[in-house]
Amino acid sequence: MRLLLIEEDARRCAHIRERLISWRPHAELVVHRPVAQGALARDFLAQGFDVVMLADEWPGGRGLTWARELSGRAGFAPIVLLCQDKDSSVAREAGAIGAFTVSGADLERETFAHVLAAAERRQAHARAIWRESRAGRETQRFGDAFVRGYRCIRRLAAGATSDLYVAESERVGALVALKVARDRQDEQQPVDAFRRFLQEYEIAQRIASPAVVRLYDLGVSDEHAWLVMEYFALGDLRRRMRSALSPREALRFAGAVAEALAAVHAAGVLHRDLKPGNVMLRQDGTIALIDFGLSKDAALALDVTDTGMIFGTPHYMSPEQGHAEALDARSDLYSLGVILFEMLTGEKPYRAENPMAIVYKHRKEPVPQLPAQFAVVQPVLERLMAKLPAERFADAQQAGAALTETLGNWLAHGRET
């Protein structure tokens, strides 16, 4: 059994876990804290859970209010509402919307196990019907690919070689991002898209760091390769930058990216396509790097690009990357410098009418000057965006320390907090 418990009280969570395990030793309890984590995602149906159990109340919220909303989502998992008294008006209203109820006293009795078992049977029946129905089969289709166990919610983006969807995973018990590589590749594409796609999984799985996107699954269906990864409801840094960032926020984001790069580089990987769109934001305020399809992995000796070819995004490329020269970790630091400049000014450091002109400017034009009010940041930007790798920070850890020190200096001089 897999139970999702919506509760804030840590002691009651522990007690319910104890009671559940005493009945089902291998049961899984996942706790969602409504105050800290907010409402369940609008498209979430809890299809990966047998039961969703709601506390009667918590600071600023009531289980019955949530039960009303969740029960209105077609296909949502069975709900069990914890009530003070099973004969109360709350319990009667819960029953009217199809929810099960248990009282605090029931937790100590066999009644608790009986209610959960009844909810579990209801969910098993609903799953069986859904999987075999035409609608159920159609919701497991992602473009031309059929991916069992995932419910397609919507397409997020379409790229040259793959499509990205938001889906719900039964196994993960959460919304996920599902990327499907197309089976037919453009003959003009110089890189095997499948090979690049599969490399993402190999690299991200091996870097044991929360600073990298979590990867859940990989497979092939109907001649389509697909990859399942963490879904970021807040989107990426590019989206966040559409609203002006404060200098403090910009420096903190840059420091977090430097920390993430340190973990990536420690695993023998160069990202090679660092840009705001590849820096994702989590609800808890942390960041995660994504898209390792262009990465160089020294440990696995993988490099999907041919010698002399240029891959990446021109606006964020180091001078050496733009000229197809040998790269090391300091190339990613240059890209971080470009991102820092853009976060502070709202503009890219070099602009031109075509990509090759931008590449030329990265090599030939001086490091851009920040506006006078950001003068305290200019020294760290000079090091990050130095034209020669030898003049940049030695590694991401050193860059991160410098960014932290710069933030401290910024705040110490009485600037915005």
- SS3 (DSSP) at 253: helix
Helical (H) or strand (E) element with 57:
strand 57-58
Length of the chain: 417
What three-state secondary structure class fits 69?
A: helix
Q: Kindly state the greatest CA–CA separation across the chain.
A: 78
Helix or strand (DSSP H, E) at 110: helix 110-132
Residue pair 317/350 in contact by the 8 Å Cβ criterion: no
Distance CA 154, CA 164 (A): 9
Q: What are the structure tokens assigned to 230, written together?
A: 């963490």
Amino acid at 171: R
* 395 is a catalytic site residue: no
Residue whose C-alpha is closest to residue 261's, from 196, 335, 343: 335
Catalytic residue among 273, 291, 297, 332: 273
Strands (E) located in 182-274 = 215-221, 224-230, 269-270
Active site residues: 273
